[in-house]
Amino acid sequence: MSRIEVVSKVEDSRAEVRAKSLREAGFDVKDVVLVDAYTLYAELPSEQLGSVAEGLRNPVVQDALVNRPHIPEKKGEIIVPTDFSWVVEIGPQPGVTDNVGHTVSEGIEASLGQEIPASSSKVMFLSGNLSEEDVEKLAGGLYNPIIERVKIKSRDQYFKDKGMNTKYPSVDLHEPPTAGLVDLLNSEDKELETIGKKGIANASGSRNGPLSMSLASMKAVQVYFKEKGRNPTDVELESLAQTWSEHCKHTIFSNPITMTYGPGHVEKVTEGIFKRFIKGSTEEIRRRKGAKDFCVSLFSDNAGVIAFDEKHYISYKVETHNSPSALDPFGGAITGIVGVNRDPMGTRKGHKCVANVYGYCLGDPRDKSKLFKGPNFTQEMLSSKRIGLGVIDGVNVGSNCSGIPTELGFAVFDPRYRGKPLVYVGTVGLEEIVADEKEKAAQPGDYIVMVGGRIGLDGIHGATFSSEAMDAGSPATAVQIGDPITQKKMHDAIIFEAKPRNLYSSITDNGAGGLSCSVAEMAKECGGCHVDLDKAPIKYLGMSPWQIWISESQERMTLSVPKDKWKEFSALMKSRDVEATIIGEFTDSKKCVVDYNGKNVMDVDLDFLHDGVPERELFGERKAVKHEEPEFSIDNLTDALHSLLGRLNICSKEFIAQQYDHEVQGGSALKPLQGRGRVYADASAFRPVLSSRKAVVLSQGICPSYSDINTYHMSACAVDTAVRRAVCLGANLDHLALLDNFCWPGDSEENLGDLFAASMSFSDNAIAHDAPAISGKDSMFNTFKGYDENGKPVTISVPPTLLVSTISVVDDVKNLVSLDAKVAGDLVYVLGDTHDELGGSEYFKMVGEQQRGKPFVGNHCPVSNPDRNPRLYRSLQNCIEQGLVASAKSVDFGGLGIALAKTAMGGMLGMDVSIDELPGKWSREDYGLFSESQGRCVVTVAPESRERFEELMNGRTFAQVGTVRDDNRFVVQHNGRTIVDADVGTLLESYKAPLRDF
Amino acid sequence: MVGVLILKEHGTNCEFESKYAFELAGARLGMVIATPDIDEDPKNILSVDIIHMNDLIKNPKKIFDYQIMMFPGGFSHGDDTGSGYAWANRIRNKMWDEMRKYVEGDHLTLGVCNGFQALVNLGLLPNLDGKYTRSAALLHNEFPRYLCRWVDLQFSGKSPWTEEIDKISLPIAHGEGKFYAAPETLAQIKERNLVAARYIHGEVCTSQNLPANPNGALDDIAGVTDPSGRILGMMPHPERAVDFTHRPDWTLLKELYKRTGKEMPSEGPGLQLFVNALRYFK
């Protein structure tokens, strides 16, 4: 074993920032030195070790120490803690992917021609006044025990041991690698229930982890195997659990549901929510569009596909990765983003990834309260701030390293996301249409080929884990770590090289359920599969066959490769350093058969595997809620505007947008930060085909706080907001599609009643806007069950949350507009009606918090008008296409006041506004300014365009409310009185300050 | 024929837009893209190829088919052990003789972002001693987080790449872009006029109220050349700024042009760099 330590010889900004943040966290830290350590698991001649070490440093700025521990000392100008008192080393846990170690191994193989395993770790030397307890606490904030291990040594110990002497993190495996039988035939209901909930008992006396199977499902399995006259193997039962999981089957959206609206008012929807509302509305819209239908492939593939131009299709998929992100925010988020990248990659014959999006629903980062998963203060949850920063960082690494531009995103905050954050990640794909290309379909006789990374113990039971609420039993192994570079190699080799050469007949990604789901899914195309699990490439020996079969280890695609193409395919993958392995054959046996170690370990009919899940009858109930109607008065609306701008849901998230590369691939057109004030945008645009002037517009809409009043309106507002944000940028409403992502707290009758209403509303509003839904996903169990900081049991459920994403294609990028006011003297218009709709608004929440220490909710949330709003948006689109609009901003969180302020801040130009003629029925000037009524936009128009603009808007509700000033003064008047008087620079400060230093 | 070679290493990700930038520049010079049965004055033909390092290593002499070589940006080998280290190691171990001969001939070489980091780690930049000793580094940004924004640049020095370019704005996107060299090296770089571009407080910084130097680079250095001027390395991405709508302020400028009765231009500020390189051989 050899160890190489690389240490900076010059000022190290990472160490300085680390020291600063530790001091800010209250530790008496003087200095920090960071060392990158690499452990090689081979004895090498010192000459070779020396050359390896040279490759791991730049001699201008770094030293490399071979087999001798680093002792910090003073060097030149650089002060290092020669008086260090503690050394902390953090490295990956056994079995967790070590991307850096992997790169080191590859480099050694390239230079020495030998395969030598390597691992990496980070060593931190600390000086200052620190007790052992301090260091343990400090280290606790720097590593995540689920995926990393830490080693702490005092100065004395470090010298005594001559360094850290870290051992290779190998996986310690006790389990025998054979398939076991599960005694179902003789099990009573109680035992079936236990197996379904807690998992299969194993030889060591513990259980394999949750199957998340209901008693009804377990009984269906029992009946099936009774007929076969044998017990199932653990491989079979685990496989069924994956395929039947809520995560994969979406039973809640597909099963019949009986809704109770009130006494005697009951309706049964036998076809289920998905077929009636989501698919139903899309089918109706497509029928109506007729020849103008731009949809290509919906709901059946990994992502929804629509037309881009004559030569290209685009696809879009948005996913959530909530449960893993709560346990390991970085790992959960990076896996989420690289995971959703594989959806377009596995769509049709494979799409190139051209854009990423994100969305985070988080707890308040300033909330310091503690939460525990276990009783008696055990299994402490990470703080809101760490979850937030970890998630943001995970998408940073995953997206940036993959070379995919992150075009758009959002962050919303609510205390109810403290237990389980929602992490949305999405990817847009692009396909060059190949004439006469066969639709993807695995053929009997094709090889089943696994491509990309290897299989490990990381990511076992991810699918079943996310199908229930999170509590102390949630498995740690459900967390995976993504390696974007392994995936990038695979993406490029498959999409740019194998696809054009027509080397495979079908492709899908390995996500939830791993091989068990991807292979079984493709087997539907040809009618069967026969897998030889011994051939599946694994990270280490000793894995049980069921683990290999269901592991969700990252960066893997499953392909079907015709036998006569294998040689060429295999040579191509090899030439790109991408591992590709035949693991079996597709058949037409109507069965899913798996062998391991010469024995048959799975033999289940495909029909039963895919359709055997028993129907579950669902019941939903609508309950009306009544909140206290707020009564308050506010004197100073200038102060209120400043405070609103600084609220977490409104303030700038510039620090997120600018750490994500939104320029890579060279198609950036309207960026996530817009105008001179760099205002965080709610829609953006890019050109995925560089030689074309066509652009893709993306936007998002999410309004969870309206769920406190009514999920029907919440859902309507999410659709309306997403469409409005898109059209304000210049989207083409004739070529605009929707994606839905429902994240629900659970499946109680009330939850399902809320879901039913939200889905119905989604459908009604999709039809109103003539926008087909092309893809969707749901995550039904976003509830945390644990203990608070006093050890008392606590349940935290997310509010019913619907994210609506839009994707639209516009003909000419140059017609797009940004949100910032452009020229002094331009006219400021408000489109749409303003009503007293402040229920669930940021303004009510803020005033409640200020005046009584807890948010007001109210009862009148915004109600979207499905008749007027779409027509207004069409007129606006027309004006934008005619070049009559200089800027456009959707009015949403924080109302008109915020939209006007963002327009002004974007242009760094003041405004004179009067709300005297503001259309709509509003009773108070603060309500007029801060109501969140839907269907409204703020636009600025050049004076010379006034006539044509007003002509084209004829018949719609609009009013000129002011003009853009040539200085920085932002003034709002009502009935001759000045009600807001602010400086745009000061407003910008209020807007940017809260999250600036994150 | 003018041939441009764009290297593709595991993890690089700017190959396609770089190819597009060269082709757009070629079109501006009236060049046509090479096709098998082309009938055109060879001087007017442009061929831009992306070749994987794995293929190149098997046949390193292939590079002599091209007059221009580009090391594009990205995360070669994940930058896991240091930005551009592993990419540079591969070239040093597998095709150093050819690479050296290439850059010593009458060829132009460009490294952008991760490509710049690789050139520095190969010792090809700034190469003060002519022996390719590593003498500079690109360190973690002063605020050690990945940063994507536009910067303003003052070009200087003498290089075919930067002719006619004075002050322009370009985007950056990197986590390790702080140019560093020891004081005596830095003095020589300046003395020998090898600074190709410096971050300045110009149009974008003024308009968007941003600091000029985005990463703490010494002496505000954004790019350097070798003593011959034929090799240029820079952190900013000219290939992401070849269209007018790449600019962060294009929607504002569109309005201003419209109101003065002018057409909005079509080109972005980075295109000139690629035009310069092609013109050198045309």
Q: What is the average per-residue pLDDT within A106-126?
A: 87
Give the residue from A567, A589, A613 where a domain finishes: A613
Q: Is B70 helix (H, G, I), strand (E, B) or coil?
A: strand
C-alpha B239/C-alpha B16 separation (Å) is 10
A99-108, A470-479, B86-95, B244-253: least confidently modelled range: A470-479
pLDDT of the residue at A470: 55
Same domain, A217 and A134: no
* List B15, B23, B113, B246, catalytic entry: B113
| pLDDT interval class at A300 (50, 70, 90) | confident
Same domain, A150 and A256: no
Chain A segment 874-893 residues within 8 A of B by beta carbon are 883, 886-887
Tell whether the model's pLDDT for residue A462 goes beyond 90: no
Tell whether the model's pLDDT for residue B2 goes beyond 70: yes
Q: Is residue A542 part of a domain?
A: yes
Q: Name the amino acid, one letter, at A357.
A: V
Which position has the higher pLDDT, A97 or A475?
A97
pLDDT of the residue at A465: 54
With a CB cutoff of 8 Å and minimum separation 6, the contacts of A701 are: A717, A718, A719, A720, A721, A722, A723, A724, A725, A803, A804, A806, A892
C-alpha A570/C-alpha B24 separation (Å) is 36
DSSP state of A540: S
Written as six digits, the tokens of B144 are 């050690």
| pLDDT interval class at A476 (50, 70, 90) | very low
**pLDDT tens column, A580-599:** 999 999 999 999 999 998 89
Same domain, A149 and A185: no
pLDDT of the residue at A467: 52
Contact: A483, B78; criterion CB under 8 Å: yes
pLDDT of the residue at A106: 84
Query: Which of A63, A668, A692, A939 best tests the B interface by mutation, with the highest count of B CBs <10 A?
Result: A668
C-alpha A246/C-alpha A248 separation (Å) is 5
Q: Is residue A946 part of a domain?
A: yes
Same domain, A78 and A225: no
Cβ neighbours of A675 in B, within 8 Å: 252
**Which of A14, A575, A944 lies nearest to residue B144, judging by beta carbons?**
A14
Cβ neighbours of B77 in A, within 8 Å: 103, 106-107, 485
pLDDT of the residue at A171: 56
The pairing of strands A801-810 and A695-701 is antiparallel
Across-strand partners of A580? A451
Chain A segment 917-946 residues within 8 A of B by beta carbon are 942, 944
Q: How far is A84 from chain B (nearest CA, A)?
A: 23
Q: Is A788 helix (H, G, I), strand (E, B) or coil?
A: strand
Tell whether the model's pLDDT for residue A72 goes beyond 80: no
Same domain, A836 and A984: yes
The CA-CA-CA angle for residues A653, A654, A656, to 5°, reads: 70
**pLDDT tens column, B119-154:** 999 999 999 999 999 999 999 999 989 999 999 999
Whether residue B164 lies in the annotated active site = no
Cα dist from B99 to A932, B119, B231, whole Å: 62, 11, 12
Tell whether the model's pLDDT for residue A815 goes beyond 50: yes
Q: How far is B55 from chain A (nearest CA, A)?
A: 8
Cβ neighbours of B17 in A, within 8 Å: 664-667, 690
Q: Name the amino acid, one letter, at B46.
A: L
Q: How far is A734 from chain B (nearest CA, A)?
A: 23
Written as six digits, the tokens of A619 are 């019941």
Tell whether the model's pLDDT for residue A146 goes beyond 80: no
Residue in A708, A657, A578 with CA at minimum distance from that of residue A356: A657
Q: Is residue A450 part of a domain?
A: yes
The continuous run of DSSP H or E covering B57 comes out as helix B53-58
Q: How far is A405 from chain B (nearest CA, A)?
A: 10
Q: Is A680 helix (H, G, I), strand (E, B) or coil?
A: strand
- The answer to whether B190 and B234 have CB atoms below 8 angstroms apart is no
Buried b vs exposed e over A829-866: b needs ≥16 C-beta within 10 Å? bbbbbbbbbbbbbbbbbbbbeeeeeebbbbbbbbbbbb
Contact: B86, A886; criterion CB under 8 Å: no
Contacts within 8 Å (CB) and 24+ apart, B131-134: B132/B100, B134/A58, B134/A59, B134/A60
Written as six digits, the tokens of A782 are 């976003």
**pLDDT tens column, B29-71:** 999 999 888 888 888 999 999 999 999 999 999 999 999 999 9
Q: Is B141 helix (H, G, I), strand (E, B) or coil?
A: coil
Q: Is residue A319 part of a domain?
A: no
DSSP state of A437: P
Written as six digits, the tokens of A946 are 């006034």
Range of the domain at A972: 817-998
- The answer to whether A862 and A934 have CB atoms below 8 angstroms apart is yes
Q: Is residue A766 part of a domain?
A: no
pLDDT of the residue at A466: 53
**pLDDT tens column, A913-931:** 999 999 999 999 999 999 9
pLDDT of the residue at A405: 98
What kind of fold does domain B2-281 have according to CATH? Rossmann fold (3.40.50)
Across chain B, what does the average pLDDT equal?
96
User: Please, is A193 exposed, middle or buried when counting C-beta atoms within 10 Å of its C-beta (0-12, 13-18, 19+)?
Assistant: middle
Max distance between CA atoms of chain A, in angstroms, equals: 89
- Cα dihedral across residues A184, A188, A191, A197: positive or negative: positive
Q: How far is A812 from chain B (nearest CA, A)?
A: 11
Same domain, A530 and A477: yes
C-alpha A950/C-alpha A539 separation (Å) is 66
Q: How far is A184 from chain B (nearest CA, A)?
A: 48
Q: Is residue A489 part of a domain?
A: yes
Q: Is residue A840 part of a domain?
A: yes
Q: Is A772 helix (H, G, I), strand (E, B) or coil?
A: coil
User: Tell me, what CATH number does A510's domain have?
Assistant: 3.90.650.10
Same domain, A104 and A242: no
Query: Which of B6, B9, B10, B135 best tests the A interface by mutation, with the highest count of A CBs <10 A?
Result: B10
Chain A segment 49-68 residues within 8 A of B by beta carbon are 55-62
Same domain, A145 and A181: no
Domain ranges of chain B: 2-281
Cβ neighbours of A887 in B, within 8 Å: 251
Same domain, A464 and A516: yes
Peptide bond into B126 cis (omega under 30): yes
**pLDDT tens column, A624-665:** 889 999 999 999 999 999 999 999 999 999 999 999 999 999
Written as six digits, the tokens of A265 are 């008012």
The CA-CA-CA angle for residues A864, A987, A385, to 5°, reads: 75
Contact: A666, B14; criterion CB under 8 Å: yes
* Residue spans of beta strands (DSSP E) within A312-421: 312-320, 352-362, 371-374, 378-380, 406-408, 411-413
Q: Is B124 helix (H, G, I), strand (E, B) or coil?
A: coil
Q: What are the φ/ψ torsions at residue A830 (nearest 5 degrees)?
A: -115, 125
- The answer to whether A742 and A802 have CB atoms below 8 angstroms apart is yes
Residue in B15, B257, B254, B1 with CA at minimum distance from that of residue B113: B15
The CA-CA-CA angle for residues B157, B162, B167, to 5°, reads: 85
Give the residue from A570, A587, A613 where a domain finishes: A613
**pLDDT tens column, B73-122:** 999 999 888 999 999 999 998 999 999 999 999 999 999 999 999 999 99
Contact: B256, A483; criterion CB under 8 Å: no
Whether residue B239 lies in the annotated active site = yes
Contact: A484, B78; criterion CB under 8 Å: yes
Chain B segment 240-269 residues within 8 A of A by beta carbon are 240, 242-243, 245-246, 248-249, 251-252, 254-256, 258-259, 264
- Cα dihedral across residues A922, A927, A933, A936: positive or negative: positive
Contact: A666, B239; criterion CB under 8 Å: yes
Give the residue from A129, A160, A191 where a domain finishes: A160
Chain B segment 95-154 residues within 8 A of A by beta carbon are 120-121, 134-137, 139-149
Q: What is the average per-residue pLDDT within A36-61?
A: 89
Q: What are the φ/ψ torsions at residue B121 (nearest 5 degrees)?
A: -75, -15
Same domain, A148 and A181: no
**pLDDT tens column, A515-565:** 999 999 999 999 999 999 999 998 777 788 998 999 888 899 999 999 999
Q: What is the average per-residue pLDDT within B5-17?
A: 97
User: Tell me, what CATH number does A56's domain have?
Assistant: 3.30.1280.10
Cβ neighbours of A883 in B, within 8 Å: 258
Alpha helices, DSSP H, located in A312-432 = 322-327, 329-345, 384-402
With tokens 């698991």, the residue in question is A41
Contact: A664, B13; criterion CB under 8 Å: yes
This prediction's pTM: 0.94
State ipTM.
0.97
CB of A823 less than 8 A from some CB of B: yes
* List B23, B98, B176, B239, catalytic entry: B239
Number of domains, chain A: 3
Q: Is residue A504 part of a domain?
A: yes
Residue in A78, A111, A117 with CA at minimum distance from that of residue A94: A117
pLDDT of the residue at A475: 46
Q: How far is A170 from chain B (nearest CA, A)?
A: 21
Whether residue B201 lies in the annotated active site = no
Which position has the higher pLDDT, A164 or B164?
B164
Contact: B248, A484; criterion CB under 8 Å: no
Query: Which of B8, B9, B13 best tests the A interface by mutation, with the highest count of A CBs <10 A?
Result: B13
**pLDDT tens column, A872-915:** 999 999 999 999 999 999 999 999 999 999 999 999 999 999 99
Chain B residue closest to A884 (CA)? B255
Q: Is B206 helix (H, G, I), strand (E, B) or coil?
A: helix
